[in-house]
Each structure stands twice: as C-alpha cells, then as structure tokens.
Structure 1
Amino acid sequence: MTSEMPDTAAHAKAETSSLGDLLAEVTRDMSTLMRQEVELAKVELKQSATRAGKGSGMLAGASVAGHFVLLFLSLGLWWALGYVMGLGWSAVVIAVIWGIVAAILATLGRKELNAIKGMPQTAQTLQEIPPTLKPTT
C-alpha cells in the first residue's frame, strides 16, 4: 500500500483548492504585480524627469552666464585687441574664442541629458513576467 504524497506545497494546494479559488488567487497576484510595476514606473519616471530638469537648468544657466560673459568680456577684449591689430580682426578673434566656449558648454549639457537612463528596472521586470506565466514541466 503506497499512499501518494503530493510532491510540493503547490501540488497539495492544487489538489485541495477549487479551480475558482486558484483562478481568483492568480488574478489577485497578477493585479498586485501590475500595481507594483506601475509604481516602479512612476518612481523611475520621476528620477528621469529630475535629471532632465537638472540638465536643462544647467544648459539654461550656462547660456545666460555665457551671454553676460560674452557681452562684457568681449567688449573689453575687443577694445584692447583693437589697439594691437585693428578693431576688425580683434572682433574675429573674440568671436572664435566664444564659439569654442559655446561648443564646450553644449557638449557638457548634452552629456548630462544623455545620462538619463529612462526606466531600466521597469523594463527588466516586465521582461521577466512572460517566462513566469509559462507552465513548467
């Protein structure tokens, strides 16, 4: 006489629970999983938005500061160089210098904005859901 014992707690539960109870539990678990995924997405979006705001603020601040620096230093340097090489050529030299500064600031701002990762944890956990739903043998 051999009595068959269930292999696992899951088998025991399946044998003692009705199909309706099992389906209700699966539905409840899926609902909980989806709510958790939505919350994770919200947190990741908030973090990404904060980084985007910082990067945009830095670019805006750099452009305002660059404008004032360009205005006042350019006038002074243009005037000083004008005595050495003439006002026309000194204006060209000043324009090239500020072009280089603008390129550096734009590169740094773009680097900050490119550092935004989006929602990596949400994407990863969503990819893990389909294999979880497949039956195992």
Structure 2
Amino acid sequence: MSHDRSSTSADDLSVVHRPGARTASSQAGPGPVASSTPHEESVGQLLSDLTQQMSRLVRDEVQLAKIDLTEKGKKAGLGLGAFSIAGLLAFFALGALVTTAIAALSQAVDVWLAALIVAVVLLVLAAVAALVGKKEVQQATPPVPQAAVDGVKKDVEAVKEGFTR
C-alpha cells in the first residue's frame, strides 16, 4: 500500500498518522483512527484507542457474519422450495410409471405378482437412495459465514504485522 505516512514515537510505540484519517473523537463507523493532534500520544491514550477499535472491529465482524448467514439462509430457502416442487412432480410421475410397469408386467404374470415385483424393485431403489443420501449429508460442510471469517483472518494478520513493527 502506498500511503503518505509520518510517524511519531511515543514511549517506544510508533503512531502512524495518515492524511485524511478520522480523529479519535470521530466515532462513526469502522476505519483507521488517528490522533486529533499530530503530536505524541500517551500510552494510556493509545491503549484506549486500541480497545475502542477492537470493540468496534468485533461488532462489525459479528454484523458481517449475521448478514452473510441471512443471505445464505434466504438462498437455501428458495432452493429448497424449488426442490420440493420438483420432488412432488417427480412423485406423481413416478406413480404413473409404476402403474404403467405393473400394467405391462401383468401381461406376462398375474396382476398381484406384477405389483409385488414392482414393489420389491422400488424398495431396493429406495434403500440405495437412502444410503447415498446419508453419505452425502455426512460429507456436507456446516454453513460458514465466509466473508466474516476472511475478514477476521485479515484483521489478525494486520494486528500481528502491527506488533512486529
């Protein structure tokens, strides 16, 4: 990043002042906070600023996580609704196909035997589908607010980088 920076040392701590940055008295929203004067700040003031910034950062990350999960929930709800409609229509179509299979098989054997054969085949297919579904559900990852997780990782890296300066 290329910013115009000037540094002032205060009790072995370096304070970075950026032109155009908000002052400590400005409390609206997240962002960099600089001293209201370009002179040295006390360690107590620096710690107070750090505490306020960390508190605001945590609140902002929690808010981002809420927004992210809400959006994912809405999309999942719409998707599940569409899948429900598709499943209902497929169920009716399957009923028609089962009736067709029984009618066709009844040309070769008695109707009751044709119905029994089709029912056994359907139960085997249901068991296979249940096993595949169970396997897929177990492999599903829990919903994660990815934007908030990425933001926290960047914040941790920024804090680590700040301590190594």
TM range (shorter): 0.5 to 0.7
Could you state the TM-score of these two structures normalised by the residue count of structure 2? 0.54
How many residues matched?
Answer: 126
Judge which range, 90-99 or 127-136, deviates more.
Answer: 90-99
Larger RCO (CA within 8 A; separation ≥ 6): 1
Out of 2, 25, 32, the position equivalent to 2:56 is 32
Aligned residues of 1:37 and 1:122 also touching (Cα < 8 A): yes
Equivalent in 85, 91, 94 of residue 70 of structure 1:
94
SS of residue paired to 1:21: helix
Which structure shows the bigger proportion of residues in helix conformation? 1
Is this contact kept in 2: 1:48–1:116, CA < 8 A? Answer: no
- What is the identity percentage for the equivalent residue pairs of Structure 1 and Structure 2? 25
With over 3 angstroms needed to count, the CA separation of the structure-2 counterparts of 1:94 and 1:69, relative to structure 1, is farther
Gaps of 5+ in 1: 1-7
Alpha-carbon distance in structure 2 between the residues aligned to 1:63 and 1:98: 18
Change (3 A) 1:121 1:37: same
| Gap runs ≥5 in structure 2 | 16-38
Match of 2:121 in 1: 96
Moved more, 126-135 or 94-103: 94-103
- Given candidates 48, 63, 80, the residue that maps to 1:56 is 80
Report the RMSD for the aligned CA atoms in angstroms: 3.7
SS of 1:56's equivalent in the other structure is: helix
In the TM superposition, residue 43 of structure 1 has moved relative to its aligned partner by 2.0
Q: Aligned partners of 1:126 and 1:90: how far apart in 2?
A: 62
